[in-house]
Copies of this chain bind each other. A is one copy, B any other.
């Protein structure tokens, strides 16, 4: 049964699965020295520019942490939103691996502003204090909202003005690109991003994320960081070929369009129900909603999902590439039924 718990509850898209089968022929060089990696790398360069460098790793935590490692020394700090994945959902991987402090700013919608960045700069040059070196944003955010290109450029300007690097956690960049009708490049490199985590797993892959580095100088030693970070896959072709599939025939776009659209529908239908309010703009594949408290437990029994904010009984509902309209409909029906009961 399908759930709305997380986009990582979904399986592997059939086109990705077919690609994995296709790659499983005979021997191939290990650690990336294979034609599938060459081909997937070429696809990335088509999207991001020929001198962009791409490194495949296993998961999003690693993509973020290793990407940040190329931008920091251990006496640095990284500005991010309070609810950023790197701040609250990656254990202490960033602190352990980077040595850096994460400096978080409040963000009810998951986005940060140039003003918030500027407010954290008052102790630059003071040896006693962690030195801000990077701004990291999530696009789409953990709240299903997106930064439009203008907002990204404003953050980039604030970062560059303060001699900071600009990092983007793009585990759901495809969803943002579809919503904003912009290319990957427009939302990243052209908007001033230095290093990008490009998501694969949540958008239909079995495993694998990509780190895209726009300044070759930052990429020069990156292979060592990946290996040291325990993220160099021996049978690399099996990550690469998945990315190749994702970037072929716009599979990334079809999947993201589908999940975005379902999320919008889900939100619209829920909004129409009494006692339910939608708390965030629905710009990606997640819906944040306040539910009547009594319906949450029985609903979770049928459809696992996460309560995001216990105190206001806000829940998070995620649509996946394999979620269907029917399933959304059935879910909403069940909500309606429970709301009706709890109303009596």
Contact = CB atoms under 8 A, between A and B. Distances in A.
Interface of A: 1-3, 5-6, 8-12, 17, 20-21, 23-31, 58-62, 65, 73-77, 88-93, 95-102, 122-123, 127-131, 201-202, 206-207, 221, 223-235, 238, 304, 310, 320, 322
Contacts of A225: 73, 75
Contacts of A61: 227, 230, 232
Given A26-B1, A30-B9, A228 B96 contact: yes
The count of identical subunits is 4
Interface secondary structure of A, over-half rule: loop
A12 B238 contact: yes
A234 B320 contact: no
A100 B95 contact: yes
A73 B127 contact: no
A207 B231 CA distance: 12
A128 B91 CA distance: 5
Given A11-B25, A30-B9, A320-B27, A90 B227 contact: yes
A229 B93 contact: yes
A75 B228 contact: yes
A101 B93 contact: no
B224 A91 contact: yes
B30 A6 contact: yes
Given A91-B75, A92-B99, A11 B27 contact: yes
B31 A12 contact: no
A29 B11 CA distance: 10
Contacts of A99: 92, 95-96, 228
Given A20-B206, A91-B75, A207-B207, A11 B30 contact: no
A101 B95 contact: yes
Given A8-B235, A77-B92, A230 B59 contact: yes
B228 A229 contact: no
Identify the 5 closest CB pairs spanning chains A and B, nearest first.
Answer: A96-B99, A8-B234, A75-B224, A62-B230, A91-B228
